[in-house]
Amino acid sequence: MIQRMHGAARGWRILFALVGWAGLIAQYVLLLKGGTRSVLGSTVVFFSYFTILTNVVVALALTAPALFPDSRLGRWTATEGVRAAVAMYIAVVGIVYHALLAATWNPQGALAVVNQILHTVMPIAFVLDWLLFVPKGRLRWIDPAKWLTYPLLYGLWTAIHGQIVGWYPYWFIDIGALGWSPALVNFAALLALFLILGLIVVALDRALSALGKGDSSLTPS
């Protein structure tokens, strides 16, 4: 049973790693083709989106344990805490997009397909990965507070970069358009969402542990 579950996890991760990397590459190519900035400027803009950065993390967290399980990155991304945090981050990507951003634009053609991969398919795929294949019962209630480091660093980068170039990736944290106070209030609300979802993840981890869920063969030695 353990070997069967391990094989399912590896197959799942390879499949969605391919989907994730394909979506990221396609999004980058479409940005270069449709943009008016230089390659360098377009690249900086590309990696200024939380969606892109988090999908890169997701793709790495799927690829490394499946293909390079003995590498430092493979062992680190296979740990329960890392996978839980990444599941929470990408869940926020999907929630925020569908709640706040989906109604503000209408992508067509290839862009619409890529958009769904990054905002819908990958969030669902990685959350299911965490639910189905990751050992449960080892998360702590303090972990969600620690997981806020990543969005806090992203917010700091966004504020600094935005002040320098006068551009922000998302309307709800656009300091130039909204002003500091509304933008900071919106960002604080986002941090609260991260924290709440993190606590839900820990609660699920505890509950699923009690039911004996999760594949212990995936735990790095």
- The whole-model pTM stands at 0.91
Closest CA to 205 of 140, 150, 142: 140
Q: pLDDT tens, 154-182?
A: 999 999 999 999 999 999 999 999 999 99
Q: Can you tell me the distance from the alpha carbon of 40 to that of 164, in angstroms, rounded to the nearest whole number? A: 16
Paired tokens of 89: 């981050």
Please tell me the predicted confidence (pLDDT) of residue 103: 85
Q: How confident is the model at residue 210 (pLDDT cuts 50, 70, 90)?
A: confident
- Mean pLDDT (whole number) for 104-119: 93
Residue 171 DSSP code: G
Residue 5 pLDDT greater than 70, yes or no:
no
Q: How far is CA 131 from the centre of its chain?
A: 15
**All structural domains of the chain with their residue ranges:** 2-218
Q: How confident is the model at residue 3 (pLDDT cuts 50, 70, 90)?
A: very low
Q: What is the DSSP string of 22-41?
A: HHHHHHHHHHHHH--S-HHH
